[in-house]
Amino acid sequence: MAVRVFPELVTGRQDDLSSERWTIEAGRARRGEASCDFVERILQVPVGPSQADRLVRAHELMHVRVSPHDVSPVALYPDVVPRALACAEEFRVNYLVGLLGFDTQELCDGSERRSGEKVAENNDWAEAVYFYVAVLGTGGERPFLLGIGKQQPLWSKTLKVFGKQALAIVTSASASAVSSTQRSASVDAPEGYEQFTVCVARLVHRMAGAQAPENEADVRTLKRSMSPGARRPASGQPATLVFDSSLHYERYAGKVRSEHRRARTVSGTTPRHVERLLTDPYQRIFSRNIHRGSAVVIIDQSGSMDLDVEAVDALLTAAPGCVVIGYSHRPGDSGTQPNAWVVARGGLRASSIPTGNVGNGVDLPVLEWALRQRRNRSRVIWVTDGQVTDSHDHPCEAIARQCADLVRRHQIALCRDTSEASRLLRKGTLSRAKPQNMGRVGRFLTGRSGM
């Protein structure tokens, strides 16, 4: 016999949850088969009499009691990945269910151990972190860690430490604070969500974005990074390229120098160099225009470059007609802040040039993008100190090596600063390229990496 479910009787919210009836849909006590949809007012829950069914019902009813209902957290917190927010909210809800005396050990569906094994087999550290937070404090926690530990014991060890850190966030506050549905003063979300779920989600986001621990030293680094105010752990990955689409462009004053030249040929309509009948063994008396694509200039505007906007501006003035792109990533940003900007292209230049965001983070993607932009073997110039970093602004040998490979393969010219790049554009050649001055990339180029 189906158990009746009473979401309408769940009261106590302080943020005006409208009183409308809910539709109950029969779900199951399995991951993904129970849900709380505030928009459609549908509560999908198991309606069986077992304790597991009861716990899943209690979990979903707790969502009705405390979760944001009229705002999209994903829109409110674009700096945190949605999965981190969702999993952190699962954790808060499970914690509150446990506080009321429900046996949260019943919250498991038997799939957790296999899930742990699979995640570890796939080497998916981020998913391991997300899943772990979602089952933290429930009956699914231990089997999941066992599954993980079978393949990746260091992950299991790190996750346990991480779990303690997440628990400390909620246990340090009162139940009324954690469950508060008072509108937050700063954001249009319940205070409990804002102060605890988002706090845990940020930790999850940071941890999931880190490089998976491969040795004890990595575990220690990750542990240190969990402390409040600590530096983000290395991610080992470049960030995703996000272009600034808000820039306004204006035409260059005066004539834009185009990079084209005339070449002599053996065919044509009008002989222009008759003298070549005598002087040229191939008798190339005709000529035609050969357009050479404009140079593509990439400018690293990270903090270590110490470039000011005026220096970039001077480069633009020296090189009209070039494609010029600046880049700098804000460490840890998940795509909310642009980290690359096209400052000049096709005879247009940006009215104002953005300043950098401290970190590098996107060296590799920006090089790849620039190489796709060049036409007719146009030159690619990279203004950099060679200190490439990952999305969390940690030095990364793997990314540096890939950048060095691109530099070598595509003959990208390296310049230490914008004035050197200006000279290169004016004279056509570098006076003396010095890869040894180009940081980690330079070390790979000169074979001094020792790796």
Partner 1 sequence: MEFTVPQCWQDLELVEKAGIDRVILYGPPGTGKTHAALHRGSSWVERLICTEDLTAGEVTGAWIPVGDGKWSWQDGPALRAWRRGGRLVVDEVDRASGDVLSLLLAMTDTDGSAEWHHPTTGEVVRPVRGFNVVMTTNLEFLAELPDALIDRFPVAIRIDQPHPSGVLHLSPDLRAAAMSGSLPEAPRRVSLRMFTAFDRLRSTMDARQAAEILMGETNAESFLDSLKISTVGL
- Give least dist CB 94 to partner 1, A: 12
Interaction between residue 195 and partner 1 (CB under 8 A): no
- Which tokens in the block code for residue 305? 């470059």
Among 29, 34, 36, 65, binds partner 1 (CB under 8 A): 65
Q: Return the SS3 of 304.
A: helix
Residue 101 vs 450, nearer CB to partner 1:
101
Kindly tell me which residue out of 81, 85, 178, 241 binds partner 1, with binding defined by CB under 8 A.
Answer: 178
Q: Residues 294 to 353: which contact partner 1 by CB under 8 A?
A: none
Contacting partner 1 within 155-174 (CB under 8 A) = 174
Give the integer Cα–Cα distance in Å for 286 and 97.
Answer: 86
- Choices 7-15, 114-122, 142-150, 272-280; region in contact with partner 1 by CB under 8 A: 7-15
Near partner 1 by CB under 8 A, which window of 60-68, 285-293, 359-367, 411-419? 60-68
Nearest distance from C-beta of residue 20 to partner 1, angstroms: 7
Q: Which residue has the tokens 């393969």?
A: 409
**Which residue's CB is nearer to partner 1, number 180 or number 328?**
180
| Rounded-to-integer distance, Cα 167 and Cα 161, Å | 10
Asked if 433 touches partner 1 (CB under 8 A), the answer is no
- Looking up tokens 């009162």 gives 174
Near partner 1 by CB under 8 A: residue from 50, 123, 176, 376? 176
Binding range to partner 1, per CB under 8 A, among 109-117, 175-183, 247-255, 341-349? 175-183
Q: Which of 37, 72, 74, 100 is the binder for partner 1 (CB under 8 A)?
A: 100
In order of 210, 241, 323, 361, the CA distances from 394 in angstroms are 10, 17, 28, 8
Q: Is 49 in the site for partner 1 (CB under 8 A)?
A: yes
- 3-class secondary-structure state, position 432: coil
Q: CA 143 to CA 158: how far, in whole Å?
A: 16
Q: Count CA atoms within 13 Å of residue 148 on its CB side.
A: 28
Under the criterion CB under 8 A, does residue 83 sit at the interface with partner 1? no
Answer for which of 29, 56, 66, 388 binds partner 1 (CB under 8 A) is 66
The CB-of-91 to partner 1 minimum distance in angstroms stands at 15
Closest CA to 334 of 73, 75, 76, 79: 79
Query: Rule CB under 8 A: is residue 70 a binding residue for partner 1?
Result: no
Q: Is 122 helix (H, G, I), strand (E, B) or coil?
A: coil
Q: Report if residue 9 touches partner 1, rule: CB under 8 A.
A: yes
Taking alpha carbons only, the member of 139, 122, 339 closest to residue 240 is: 339
- From the CB of 107, what's the least distance to partner 1, in Å? 14
Structure token pair of residue 308: 């000011």
CB within 8 Å of 281: residues ≥ 6 apart: none
Of residues 42, 177, 348, 430, which one binds partner 1 by CB under 8 A?
177
Candidates 4, 248, 372, 426: give the one binding partner 1 (CB under 8 A): 4
- Considering beta carbons, is residue 100 or 230 the nearer one to partner 1? 100
SS3 assignment, position 89: helix
Say whether residue 24 binds partner 1 (CB under 8 A): yes
Give 183-244 as a DSSP string: BPSSSSSBHHIIIIIHHHHHHHHHHHTSPPP-SHHHHHHHHHHHSTTPPPPP-SSPPPP-B-
Using CB under 8 A as the binding rule, whether residue 12 contacts partner 1 is answered as yes
- Tokens for 94? 């499970």
* Window of 73-81, 91-99, 382-390, 442-450 that interacts with partner 1 by CB under 8 A: 91-99
Spatial separation of the C-alpha atoms in residues 90 and 219, rounded to whole Å: 25
Least distance from partner 1 to the Cβ atom of residue 136, Å = 18
Could you tell me which stretch among 93-101, 146-154, 257-265, 403-411 binds partner 1 (CB under 8 A)?
93-101
Three-state SS for 351? coil
Task: State the Cα–Cα distance between residues 179 and 367, nearest whole angstrom.
Answer: 47
Q: Does 42 bind partner 1 (CB under 8 A)?
A: no
**The two three-digit tokens of residue 401, written as one number:** 């090596």
Q: Rule CB under 8 A: which residues touch partner 1?
A: 1, 3-12, 19-22, 24, 49, 54, 57-58, 61-62, 64-66, 96-97, 99-101, 174-180, 192
